[in-house]
Structures are given as C-alpha cells and as structure tokens.
Amino acid sequence: MISYLCDFLTGYGAMLALARRAREGGSYRVQVSLCQSSMLVQRQALIDDFAAAPVT
C-alpha cells in the first residue's frame, strides 16, 4: 500500500505543475522524489505502523 501512496503523491506534484502551466502558461521545473514522498507519509503519521510496511 505504501508504494501506491508514494507514487500518487509524487505524481500529484507533477500534475500540479501541469495544471498551473495550463492556467498561467510558462514553464516550470519540478523535482519530485519517491523517497521524500515516503518520508512525508512517515512524518505525517498517515500509516499507523510504518516500520511494518512491506519492503519491495
């Protein structure tokens, strides 16, 4: 489950930039990281037992 959530969060960052480009024009550089998405999930306590998350 954690990998799906990290994929979603990482893709969401890119989609925000695309939506902004569509509204305002211009170009944007987006740096996204699956690792940082995972760390966000851990810091926000979105998963109760993060230590038991499966390793893929």
Residue 48 exposure: Cα atoms within 13 Å on the Cβ side? 0
Question: Could you please report the per-residue DSSP string of 13-28?
Answer: HHHHHHHHHHHH-S--
- The mean pLDDT values, 10 residues at a time, for the chain of 56 residues are 78 88 88 82 69 59
Alpha carbon distance 18, 44 (integer Å):
26
Model pLDDT, residue 14: 85
| pLDDT for 54 | 59
Counting Cβ atoms within 10 Å, is residue 8 exposed (0-12), middle (13-18) or buried (19+)? exposed
